[in-house]
Amino acid sequence: MDTLPLAVAGDDAGPLTPAQLRELYSLMVAVRHLDTSAIAWQRQGIIPGYAPELGQEAAQVGSGYAVDTSRDFVFPTYREMGVARTMGVDMVGYMSTHKATWHGGLYDPMASRLAPIQAVVAGSVLHAVGWAHGQTLDQKDGVALTYFGDGASSQGDVHEAMNFAAVMKAPVVFFVQNNGWAISVPTDRQVAGGSVAARAAGYGMPALQIDGNDVVAVVEATRRAFAHARSGNGPVLIEAMTYRRGPHSTSDDPGRYRSLDEERDGAGEDPLERLKQRLLADGSADAAFFAEALAAAKAEEEQIRTGIQALGPRPGNEMFDLVFQETTPALQAQAANWREESEHV
């Protein structure tokens, strides 16, 4: 499905260069290695929980690669580690949420252009539309990119967000990672018609349904969508068809609702292997490059793990500093009492 006008050209409309393809591969390897390591960290007690994204590296790296961090803003769910890494977010700060050190992450959202991690299903979608509408009111050219899954697409918040965005022509790109499962429920049992992209027509917005395992296709589609929204044409819906190869979270047992044969049959071609074979076929990379990319990913993971283990508990007085923009007298009194009691502990 492709209902986005072809006449819209992106700021980076040209084909990806060999150097950019190698960069995308390196990013995907880094994300894959960090993702699988995070599962091991949870088993080792370093972090209490994690939402894996195995198999969705192309969808996340490719879409994040299209973001202009000088003007755009991204609104993630709890499963966009690959987007954060691609955007250059401090990964120790990002993973602090999974360590339960701080809700939303310790990174700076304004500097990184990545909103705090959102645990509420579809909660980030409304935030993205509000920010995008603000860009229109301020006559700026930033575009909001918001993520959600096929399961979240059934939430009422998504309808409200899409309807408002379409009516107001808000510059927002709705990026659906259709990974085949809404936790334990397959897409065909909770999305009527089986396609989230088809719903866009009901809101009068263009849509793209793409191969979410092809990182090049994801980059190109996201760039087109950004160009459309940035030109004042309103929102775009992208549905990236991919597959969640692992569990919904580290507390989930996918063996209860699908077999290993179903995983192998449904997962399709591995996103990393797909790009690797393209690089080899084009003569754009060799064995030495792939070895270096993996070594760099392992070194980065070790550095992030060390940083996460070094994170201590947050100071308790933050609960008084971060509740309201302007501290109320009652809150000031509570803070004073808390400090006095803390000094006597």
The residues assigned a catalytic role are 244, 248, 257
Determine the Cα–Cα distance for residues 154 and 137; give it in Å rounded to an integer: 29
In DSSP notation, 167-235 reads HHT--EEEEEEE-SEETTEEGGGTSGGG-SGGGGGGGT--EEEEETT-HHHHHHHHHHHHHHIIIII--
Q: For 282, list phi and psi in degrees, rounded to 5.
A: -80, -10
CB 83 within 8 A of CB 219: no
Strand ranges for 82-169 from DSSP E: 144-149
DSSP H or E stretch at residue 75: strand 73-75
Q: How many CB atoms lie within 10 A of CB 161?
A: 27
- In eight-state DSSP terms, residue 251 is T
Terminus-to-terminus CA distance in the chain, angstroms?
63
- Cα dihedral angle (240, 256, 53, 144), rounded to 10 degrees? 50
CB 176 within 8 A of CB 239: yes
Determine the Cα–Cα distance for residues 288 and 69; give it in Å rounded to an integer: 31
Q: Is 33 helix (H, G, I), strand (E, B) or coil?
A: helix
Determine the Cα–Cα distance for residues 31 and 34; give it in Å rounded to an integer: 5
Determine the Cα–Cα distance for residues 246 and 110; give it in Å rounded to an integer: 32
Provide the β-strand partners of residue 174.
Answer: 146, 237
Side chain identity, residue 12: D
